[in-house]
């Protein structure tokens, strides 16, 4: 098991390093000049470039940049926020995105699980049909459409909730974005839970347990849920990544200063802010790889079969 964990962690770190380097390299080979060239002579530009170390080999520059990044310093933006240090902007953005995304994940997972379990226990009856219609809707309609709908009904037609995000009344203004973000998670989890539960309930060992006289709550929690829940961990992972990082459109529409909105601002404006693209790229990639790693390891812990096959060597 230790060897397995070690191997996974090392692979993840190498992957991350490769991606970071690629990002860094791509951003550096961009055509264009980091200085307003009309006002500077060629010599001045050359001097400035040398001072900033832009003429050094790319690897030296990369190592220098990474040393700073590891200390939490991403440099300054080129066009956004008048060149304020990126890490201060980023810290606030991360906090906002993670709060909204976190609520959405908790809400989505909980309601999704409950809905899926109810649907599986009432197979082919009302709740099952409701669950499948709901999950179809949740998967087919993008979250920003729900957001627009909620915003229009609850913030524009009636003024029950704020029209835009306002950090001074966090709870009230996080209802609309969290709810609309959670619907996709909710429907995916609900559908998945239902299918897994039904598969387990049809299995021989549950039949055996029933034959031995076990029924009801005990059967469901001890025998069915335990096995049905394991695979859900794997679907949850990409959903978490999506919610923590990919709430882009939702943040843009609802005016939340999160990392998604930062990314939109960095790439969709007139000038593209390379430093933000780089910093956010690194952030997104590490989150993505990190969560995937955690899930992989967790899955190994939960399901002994994975562990055993990993011990047997590279498969």
Partner 1 sequence: MTDQDFVLLKDRNIETDTNYASMPYWRGVFKRFFAKKRSVVGLVIVAAILVLALLGPVLSGYTYREITSVVDEETGKEVVARGISPRIPWLHKLLGKEDYTDRFADKTFLFGTDDLGRDLWTRTWYGARVSLLIAFVTIIIDVIIGMTFGLTSGYFGGAVDGTMQRFVEVANSVPRLVIVSVLAIFMPKGIGLVIVALLLTEWIGMSKIARAEMLKIKELEYIFASRTLGAGNFGIIFNDVLPNTVGPIITQVMFSIPTAIFTEAFLSFVGVGIMLPQCSVGSLIEDGFNNITTLPYQIVPPIIVLALLMLGFNFIGDGLREALAPKLEDM
Kindly list the residues in this chain that would bind partner 1 in the complex (CB under 8 A): 11, 15-16, 18-19, 23, 26-27, 30, 136-137, 139-142, 144-145, 148, 152, 156, 241, 245-246, 248-249, 252-253, 263-264, 266-268, 272, 274, 277, 280-281, 284-285, 288-289, 292
Shortest reach from residue 222's CB to partner 1, in Å: 27
Closest distance of CB 95 from partner 1, Å: 19
Q: What are the backbone angles phi and psi of residue 29, rounded to the nearest 5°?
A: -80, 5
Residue with tokens 């201060």: 88
φ, ψ of residue 76 to 5 degrees: the values are -120, 155
Please, which residue, 225 or 288, has the CB nearer to partner 1? 288
- The residue (of 43 and 202) whose beta carbon lies closer to partner 1 is 202
Measured from the CB of residue 54, what is the shortest distance to partner 1 in angstroms? 17
* Shortest Å, Cβ 216 to partner 1: 27
Q: Shortest gap between Cβ of 255 and partner 1 (angstroms)?
A: 13
- Token pair, residue 157, equals 């037609």
Q: How far apart are CA 187 and CA 180, in angstroms?
A: 12
Angle CA 187–264–69, to nearest 5: 100
Q: Which is nearer to partner 1, 114 or 249 (CB)?
A: 249
Q: How far is the CB of 218 from partner 1 (least distance, A)?
A: 29
- Can you say whether residue 45 is alpha, beta or left, with left for phi > 0 and alpha for psi between -120 and 50 degrees? alpha
Both tokens of 250, joined, read: 């939702």
Nearer to partner 1, 27 or 297 (CB): 27
Write down the least CB distance from residue 276 to partner 1, Å.
9
Name the H helices within 122-258: 126-140, 143-150, 170-173, 175-201, 204-211, 216-218, 226-245, 248-254
Give the C-alpha distances (Å, rounded to integers) separating 189 from 41, 53, 103, 118, 264: 60, 50, 15, 13, 28
Six token digits for residue 91: 């810290």
By C-beta, is 221 or 309 nearer to partner 1? 309
Q: For partner 1, which is the closer residue by CB, 18 or 50?
A: 18
d(CA 44, CA 52): 12
Give the torsion through C-alpha atoms of 82, 87, 91, 96, to 10 deg.
40
**Strands in the chain per DSSP E:** none
Least distance from partner 1 to the Cβ atom of residue 37, Å: 19
154, 163 contact by CB (below 8 A): no
Residue 41 in tokens: 């002579």
Nearer to partner 1, 90 or 220 (CB): 90
Q: Which is nearer to partner 1, 110 or 130 (CB)?
A: 130
């Amino acid at each position: 098991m230790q060897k397995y964990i070690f191997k996974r962690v090392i692979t993840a770190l190498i992957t991350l390093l490769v991606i970071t380097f690629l990002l860094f390299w791509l951003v550096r080979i961009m055509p264009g000049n980091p200085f307003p060239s009309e006002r500077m002579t060629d010599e001045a530009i050359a001097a400035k470039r040398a001072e900033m170390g832009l003429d050094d080999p790319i690897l030296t520059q990369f190592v220098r940049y990474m040393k700073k990044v590891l200390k939490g310093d991403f440099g300054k933006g080129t066009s956004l926020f008048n060149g304020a240090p990126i890490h201060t902007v980023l810290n606030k953005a991360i906090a906002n995105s993670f709060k909204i995304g976190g609520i959405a994940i908790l809400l989505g997972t909980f309601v999704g699980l409950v809905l899926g379990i109810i649907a599986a226990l009432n197979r082919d009856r009302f709740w099952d049909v409701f669950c499948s219609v709901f999950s179809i809707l949740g998967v087919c309609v993008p979250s920003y459409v729900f957001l627009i709908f909620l915003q229009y009904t609850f913030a524009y037609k009636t003024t029950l909730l704020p029209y835009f995000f306002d950090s001074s009344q966090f709870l009230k203004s996080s209802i609309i974005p969290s709810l609309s973000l959670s619907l996709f998670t909710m429907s995916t989890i609900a559908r998945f839970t239902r299918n897994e539960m039904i598969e387990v309930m049809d299995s021989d060992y549950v039949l055996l347990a029933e034959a031995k006289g076990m029924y009801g709550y005990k059967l469901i929690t001890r025998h069915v849920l335990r096995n049905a829940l394991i695979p859900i961990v794997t679907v949850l992972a990409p959903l978490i990544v999506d919610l923590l990082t990919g709430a882009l459109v939702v943040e843009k529409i609802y005016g939340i200063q999160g990392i998604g909105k930062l990314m939109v601002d960095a790439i969709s404006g007139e000038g593209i802010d390379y430093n933000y693209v780089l910093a956010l790229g690194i952030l997104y990639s590490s989150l993505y790889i990190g969560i995937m790693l955690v899930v992989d390891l967790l899955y190994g812990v939960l399901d002994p079969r994975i562990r055993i096959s990993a011990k047997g060597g590279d498969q």
